[in-house]
Amino acid sequence: MHDNLALRWVMRLSIALVTVLLPQFALGTEDLAKQQAARQITQPLNNAPMWREVRKGENPYQTTQVRGVETNILIQTEGQIWREIRNGPVTIYGGWLLVLVVVALGIFYWWRGRIMLKQPPTGRLVQRFTPWERLVHWGTAISFVVLAITGLTTLFGKYVLLPVFGYTLFSWLATLSKTLHNFVGPLFAVCAIIMFFTFVRDNIWQRGDLQWILSAGGLFTGRHVPSWRFNIAEKFWFWLGVTFLGVAVSATGFILDFSNFGQGRLLMQLSNVVHAVGALLFIALAFGHIYLGTIGMEGAYESMRNGHVDEAWVKEHHEYWYNEVASQSRTAGGVPSTAPASAMKEGWKT
């Protein structure tokens, strides 16, 4: 019975598809033009073939004297589809996704609290990020936050900010947002590329990563799970966030930012949808990253702020890496922690 029903639906769908697609393949533009020429003789004033062509918009003999992008196209129907996707699922589900992530993080914080160190700090510092790595990180991070805020203003401002600020002030804000977004965007793309090459070495799959996945890093149990310099959650953020979404958002961003190269509307519409969906996912992931990097975990922010972390922190969160660093400095004949006095002063506060 169920099989029958499913089969019937598959058949119905294929019939519908064939009915829609077949004429498209069968009738090329040239054919339609010839048809119209023939129709002109047999049935003068019957322009049906010509009207079919207008919708297709591919006729090389469709001309205009006005210069510009796609000025010879009379009707483009893709705009309506873009509108429905952008104003529909992208805005609605994207907006709720961000709200949901914030609420989930709030619940997690309420339940788990700030993840504190179990051992008292040793006072010995280990360098976790070099000044260059911090420069690259903060360049990317600050440009990302600017782009996220200005991008969200463009997508949701009409529904959230406009009723509060009124037309004049919101228009001023939106102009600022758009200009910032369009000029900071290329900077972010450059930073993200440098970031990839800076951190890729420590983000490849390493022995012991599987164990970390299986125990979810002890995030929910509080159990100790050893990891290398970056755990799998950080690697996931690096590959899906910075690399994959970074490339997707940057590439589509360039297409949208430089319309002076005369790209068509279909490409811009597709880019806009990819850009918006990618950016919303990117922001959702960034919420998690920022949460753990600031209020979610003791010592995480200081590691990127000052570059140094306490030995106890490294042992608890990145044990494999700690062993690696410790053995390296032992073979080099020094103590594992060689932090400058300034970092000692403001770095690790308990």
Partner 1 sequence: MARMKFLADAERCIECNGCVTACKQEHEIPWGVNRRRVVTLNDGMPGEKSISVACMHCSDAPCMAVCPVDVFYKTSEGIVLHDKDLCIGCGYCFYACPFGAPQFPQDGAFGLRGKMDKCTFCAGGPEPDFSAAEFKKYGRNRIAEGKLPACAERCATKALLGGDGDVIADIYRRRVTTRGRGSEVWGWGTAYGKPEKQPAAPPPGGKS
d(CA 200, CA 195): 8
Residue 97, judged by CB atoms within 10 A of its CB (0-12, 13-18, 19+), counts as middle
Whether residue 335 contacts residue 124, with contact meaning beta carbons closer than 8 Å, is answered with: yes
Q: Give the nearest distance from C-beta 258 to partner 1 in angstroms.
A: 6
Site string for partner 1, 49-88 (x = CB under 8 A): -xx-xx----x-xxxxxx-x-xxxxxxxx-xx-xx--xx-
Least distance between partner 1 and beta carbon 279 (Å)? 14
Q: Which of 125, 147, 174, 255 binds partner 1 (CB under 8 A)?
A: 174
In the set 56, 124, 137, 265, which binds partner 1 (CB under 8 A)?
265
- The binder of partner 1 chosen from 175, 221, 294, 350 (CB under 8 A): 175
Q: In sequence order, which ranges of 203-331 are alpha helices (DSSP H)?
A: 209-214, 232-236, 246-257, 265-293, 300-306, 311-317, 319-331
Query: Measured from the CB of residue 164, what is the shortest distance to partner 1 in angstroms?
Result: 10
Q: What DSSP line would sit under 167-227, residue for residue? A: HHHHHHHHHHHHHHHHHHHHHHHHHHHHHHHHHGGGGS--TTHHHHHHTGGGTTT------
Note whether 149 binds partner 1 by CB under 8 A: no
Footprint of partner 1 on 274-333 (CB under 8 A): none
Which among 95-103, 142-150, 260-268, 281-289 is the span making contact with partner 1, rule CB under 8 A? 260-268
Please identify, among the stretches 9-17, 176-184, 187-195, 230-238, the one whose residues bind partner 1 according to the rule CB under 8 A.
176-184
* Integer Cα distance of 288 and 305 in angstroms: 18
Whole-number Å distance between alpha carbons of 36 and 75: 19
Residue pair 133/318 in contact by the 8 Å Cβ criterion: no
Binding to partner 1 (CB under 8 A) within 152-171 occurs at 154-155, 157-158, 162, 165-171
Q: Distance (Å, rounded) from C-alpha 339 to C-alpha 124?
A: 8
Residue 80 or 338: the one with the smaller Cβ distance to partner 1 is 80
Residue 320 and residue 228 in contact, taking contact as beta carbons nearer than 8 Å: yes
Which amino acid, 130? Answer: T
Q: State the nearest-atom distance from the C-beta of 329 to partner 1, in Å.
A: 48
The nearer residue to partner 1, 70 or 346, going by C-beta atoms, is 70
What residues line the site for partner 1 (CB under 8 A)? 33, 36-37, 39-41, 43-47, 50-51, 53-54, 59, 61-66, 68, 70-77, 79-80, 82-83, 86-87, 154-155, 157-158, 162, 165-171, 174-175, 178-179, 181-183, 256-260, 265, 268-269, 272
